[in-house]
Amino acid sequence: MEFDWALALGLILTAAMAASAAIVLAGVLQARSGRRTGGIFSDPQSGTVFLFDGETLLDATPGARAILALSPARGGPWLRLLAYLVPRFPDLESRLATLAGDGRLTLASTGEADPLLLMAEMRGGVTRLTLDDPTSAERPRLDHLAQRALVEELDQLRATVSQAPLMMWRESGRGEVIWANAAYLLEAAKRLDAGEDLSWPLPRLFERAATAQGAPGQRQKLETQGTARWFELVGFAEGEGRLLFALPADAAVQAEASLRDFMQTLAKTFAHLPIGLAIFDQHRKLALFNPALLDLTSLPPDMLALQPSLFSFLEALRDRQMIPEPKDYPSWRRQILELEKAASSGLYTETWSLPSGQTYRVIGRPHPNGALALMFEDISTEMSRTRRYRADLELGQAVVDAMDEAIAVFSQAGELVMTNAAYGALWGHDPVETVGSGSIVQLCEQWRARTAPSPLWSEAERFVADLGSRRPWSGEVRLDDGRLISCRFSPLTGGATLVLFRINRPDEGASAEAATLRRA
């Protein structure tokens, strides 16, 4: 059988044409399939393009979706996009409102070293937004690893700002909140009505007047569900806008309120003190005084309000005869210098007897930072009472000394507290040296040494030391010189004991015996 070369060549050509057709058909089908499964901007080189139907995102390029992911705002795609674009294009919202009539617009960003171009156009009710960087063609493209490092760093910064426990936000030049962290958004969400979502621009939490000022230490109060919280606002200028932080200041406000209440309480306490108080600062100028100082010194309030020096203050007191008059003026000047030195070291305490008959106690005490405090206390009543008490004691002592009988008074503890002149003459003791330094045991030993042996002194020791119920009793002892002494022991109030010694005359014994016989 003879081989047909023509038929073989035809079959080969037919098979080649069929394979080529199959390859072309597969490519066409694959291209159509890719267009069906991908977005309308699947080409990564198509730029940054957004396609919106109203506020609904229809499609976006990968770069555009990355911008939405990086937006600081929370909410839908349109809100996220506005949060990214409005700080760069301040008039965007007003211009977009006229896009339906204009059909197309082009905006350039402001306030940035590298400007951006925004092109918007309306096609069949669909809004197409295109972002372009005019300088991107002049810059070398970043490699994959560098871009990956930038993305990782950006993620870390976003996480840090998002988890910050304090509120941070940015304001535009017109005062609109154009960016905020999670703490601010959470606080703003608490103030929304039920079913309401955050909208653009973000709601303002703090007053514009306070946040716009550049003075540090501004404080504002936020009330949430009846609870007031204080914040200290710190701001930094960023072009026409500002970056602001709200630092919690509750502890500082409470501390200042406590200090203010304490100062008010202290001022009220000073105002009601009967002691005159004058505080001089480190330059010896009057810094603080209370109303009692005016009453005690009779100084005019306007004179004290002028903050006189320490020397002028004391000079005014001297002119009103409110300090002891010295013999000469130079010595008085030296006395003032010594007063200041002593008060600065905390050693000055003196009693001023004034020509008017009043008596003041003046105390000087040092204060922190070199300040000096002088306290004036009117002790005239106390001194009068002391003088009267002392006069009563002297009168009582004079009455006791005028008695013929010798007396000795012991306290509940058995200590000698009082004697008279007759006691000193009888027993040879100086009452001034004996009072307060002799016990009943010691004195009984001295009495035994001056008298004949007798059990009376042992009974006296027990009687004085007895804390129970006691009755008066008496006895007699004889001195070494032969004189007979009658001793009487009587209890006094408070556990004290009175011991009375009386010398019997020779005829007193016979008279007593005759009186006894007459009664019989």
Asked if residue 122 has pLDDT above 90, the reply is: no
Lowest mean pLDDT among 58-62, 113-117, 235-239: 113-117
Query: Structural domain tally of the chain?
Result: 4
**Do 432 and 504 fall into the same domain?**
yes
**Do 412 and 449 fall into the same domain?**
yes
**Do 379 and 414 fall into the same domain?**
no
Asked if residue 461 has pLDDT above 80, the reply is: yes
Query: How high is the pLDDT of residue 511?
Result: 44
Asked if residue 316 has pLDDT above 80, the reply is: yes
pLDDT tens profile 74-109: 678 888 888 888 878 888 888 888 888 888 888 888
Listing DSSP states for 242-285 in one string gives: EEEEEEE-HHHHHHHHHHHHHHHHHHHHHHH-SSEEEEE-TTSB
4 occurs within a structural domain: no
Half-sphere exposure of 141 (CA within 13 A, CB side): 4
**Do 248 and 280 fall into the same domain?**
no
Query: How high is the pLDDT of residue 369?
Result: 75
Q: What percent of the chain has pLDDT over 70?
A: 75
The answer to whether 370 touches 339, Cβ cutoff 8 Å, is no
**Do 104 and 169 fall into the same domain?**
no
Residue numbers of the domain that contains 79 = 48-132
Asked if residue 69 has pLDDT above 60, the reply is: yes
DSSP state of 415: B
- Max mean pLDDT range (50-64, 193-207, 445-459, 506-520): 445-459
CA distance 64 to 129: 10
β-pairing, 117-123 vs 241-248, is unpaired
Asked if residue 150 has pLDDT above 60, the reply is: yes
pLDDT tens profile 40-50: 444 444 568 88
As a whole number of Å, the end-to-end CA separation of the chain is: 202
Query: How high is the pLDDT of residue 518?
Result: 34
**Do 378 and 414 fall into the same domain?**
no
76 occurs within a structural domain: yes
The predicted model gives 494-504 an average pLDDT of: 90
The predicted model gives 126-132 an average pLDDT of: 87
Q: What percent of the chain has pLDDT over 90?
A: 7
**Do 367 and 458 fall into the same domain?**
no
121 occurs within a structural domain: yes
CA distance 345 to 361: 18
CA distances from 137 to 19, 60, 130, 171, 451 (A): 43, 22, 16, 32, 134
Band of the pLDDT at 260, cuts 50, 70, 90? Answer: confident
**Do 167 and 246 fall into the same domain?**
yes
Asked if residue 184 has pLDDT above 70, the reply is: yes
Asked if residue 302 has pLDDT above 90, the reply is: no
Angle at 66 between CA 159 and CA 47, to 5 degrees: 155
Query: How high is the pLDDT of residue 345?
Result: 67
Query: How high is the pLDDT of residue 498?
Result: 92
Query: How high is the pLDDT of residue 477?
Result: 92
Asked if residue 517 has pLDDT above 50, the reply is: no
Phi–psi pair at 114, nearest 5 degrees: -110, 100
141 occurs within a structural domain: no
The answer to whether 416 touches 443, Cβ cutoff 8 Å, is yes
β-pairing, 359-366 vs 372-378, is antiparallel
327 occurs within a structural domain: yes
493 occurs within a structural domain: yes
The predicted model gives 238-242 an average pLDDT of: 77
Interacting residues of 474 by C-beta distance below 8 A, sequence separation 6+: 486, 487, 488, 489
Handedness of CA 31, 33, 37, 40 (dihedral sign): positive
For residue 27, which amino acid is it?
A: G
**Do 127 and 210 fall into the same domain?**
no
Q: Higher-confidence residue: 500 or 510?
A: 500
DSSP state of 204: P
**Do 364 and 410 fall into the same domain?**
no
- Max mean pLDDT range (206-210, 220-224, 388-392, 444-448): 444-448
Q: Higher-confidence residue: 127 or 438?
A: 127
The answer to whether 172 touches 241, Cβ cutoff 8 Å, is yes
Residue 111: give its domain's CATH number: 3.30.450.20
Asked if residue 499 has pLDDT above 50, the reply is: yes
506 occurs within a structural domain: yes
- Max mean pLDDT range (44-48, 141-145, 231-235, 327-331): 231-235
Lowest mean pLDDT among 217-221, 280-284, 380-384: 217-221
pLDDT tens profile 327-349: 565 676 676 677 667 666 667 77
**Do 379 and 415 fall into the same domain?**
no
502 occurs within a structural domain: yes
Band of the pLDDT at 28, cuts 50, 70, 90? Answer: low
Query: How high is the pLDDT of residue 86?
Result: 82
Note the pTM of the prediction, 2 decimals: 0.42
The answer to whether 104 touches 119, Cβ cutoff 8 Å, is yes
Asked if residue 451 has pLDDT above 60, the reply is: yes
**Do 96 and 188 fall into the same domain?**
no
